[in-house]
Structure 1
Amino acid sequence: MGELVNLRLARKSKQRADKERAAESNRAKFGRTKSERELSDRQKQLSERMLDAHERQSDEDS
């Protein structure tokens, strides 16, 4: 005879494995290290400052 399997435990085990696979996929897709986030933030701030520095002044101000 085959081995007896508790179907409830097998189902829960399968669900946990599926969730872990989805989590691994999300970590690869969305996860960034702290240094990557900081670098991205610094680059964004620099580009905003450069854009603001090149803004044209209106004639009403002069």
Structure 2
Amino acid sequence: MAEIVNLRQARKQKARTEKERAAEQNRALHGRPKAERERQDLLRAQSERFVEGHRRDAAGSKAGPGSPEDGYPDGSPERE
């Protein structure tokens, strides 16, 4: 004789198994250890500081030294 199966419980068990499989897949794709995340943040901050330190002009100024707004090309004010 066949085993009696409660269809409601079987459906719930199947859903639980499917959710667990999806969770395992997401952990493999997106999970990173804390040390790895912190290292990535540190490298990102260092590269941003490097780029900011090597900019040719200050972030707020539109014209640097030697521009027509400053007068003479050497950056000195215009003489009268």
Q: TM-score, with normalisation over the residues of structure 1? A: 0.92
Per-residue deviation, residues 36-57 of structure 1 (Å, max 9, x unmatched): 1000000000000010011011
Rg larger in structure: 2
Deviation of 1:32 after TM superposition, in Å, equals 0.6
Runs of 4+ in 1 over 6 A off after TM superposition: none
More helix by share: 1
Q: Which has the higher contact order (CA 8 A, sep 6+)?
A: 2
Same amino acid, percent of matched pairs: 52
Return 5+ residue gaps in structure 1 as ranges: none
1:51 has 2:51 as partner? yes
Alignment size in residue pairs? 62
Q: CA RMSD in A?
A: 1.6
Q: TM-score, with normalisation over the residues of structure 2? A: 0.72
